[in-house]
Chain A
């Protein structure tokens, strides 16, 4: 399982977000360049419609592949009330010919994306990962060198944390409270619930940039 929230930010404020995240997390950012291939089962295969994602980490010296399955979101009155999506998610690191295998099994390419940006991984009540990336589409099959932004000027921010059926309430509250620190720059919500950019972003970004990423951010946002 994982807990996840998403939001968007204008590219012009990404540097400020990075400064804020750097101050909050206390770790160095990691560069992110991931080729994501989404596959779906062919019309005759399987009892249900299924989808699997192959992620190729292009930042590694040798491209590293992961197969990822994202399942349904947790349902019920309790799930409705929380601001974080809790869903099943399974990942498996694989050798390089995963795409060939899934094609052989009868899966078809649905779409592919290239995510370029950075990520922070840190422990803060849960093992939280924040990724900030521009989402790009390929004009030609697998041509990651010729990718163009899907939404120019806008980047996707995603906060995720692994969870289990025993601890997800604690993880949800850890993710929620972390998101509050980012609120002046962006609003984070469940995937699919679009909330747009926040009106305070420009002022918050200007303040962060002038502070230069000093140890004290705005007093009310410090941990």
Chain B
């Protein structure tokens, strides 16, 4: 499948995300002739262990994520970032997890927004919101380069595209910028050829970045 980079909005120090930034970003995509194609939505669910003795919580993963990716509606992905594990499974694994009664859903977030076509690139801009809420927690952007599946072979063209994109967006003087933090896919046992497992790992990484930036804002306030 085509290579994809998932980026997150990094607000400037002392600022936070708001829906106006999201509107400006969407307008910017259209201003460089991005053609709106439709909506997209991914869902990330944090699971927590059901423990008989809460004092032993440290023995269990705190970042166990279940991910539903729009390109693969019949699949479900698990990621434990701290241990660099990604698993692809049929969506029926969710029923198995319910039956095991050992982990339960803690919180679920959606990445949702619009998809645009721009030549050989496909762009997605989306907000990060808890399910059943409109409380904006972050902004994500996906850049997919349709002709190539190799991460290494596409690196240069992706960087060039992002330079052009950042230059266009900088004209709007928004209080922040998009950041691409590429996970080390090799640590997860993933090859150079791009797959939905790479997307799951990137989503988990973006989620961790968003949590870290919220925590740093909170610690500054305190």
Contact = CB atoms under 8 A, between A and B. Distances in A.
Contacts, number: 89
Nearest to B77: A95
Interface in B29-54: 49-53
Given A97-B85, A97-B189, A98-B87, A106 B93 contact: no
16 contacts: A44-B51, A44-B52, A44-B53, A46-B49, A52-B96, A67-B96, A69-B96, A90-B95, A90-B96, A90-B99, A92-B92, A94-B87, A94-B93, A101-B78, A105-B60, A105-B64
A141 B49 CA distance: 28
Contact of B50 (A43, A45, A92, A94): A45
B99 A69 contact: yes
A71 B99 CA distance: 8
B92 A45 contact: no
Interface in A87-120: 88, 90-95, 97-98, 100-101, 104-107
B85 A46 contact: no
Interface residues on B, range: 20 to 34
A47 B90 contact: no
Chain B interface mostly helix, strand, loop or mixed? mixed
Contacts of B93: 67, 92, 94
A77 interface: no
Interface of A: 41, 43-48, 50, 52, 67, 69, 71, 88, 90-95, 97-98, 100-101, 104-107
Given A44-B52, A47-B50, A95-B197, A105 B103 contact: yes
Contact of A91 (B56, B92, B103): B92
B96 A92 contact: yes
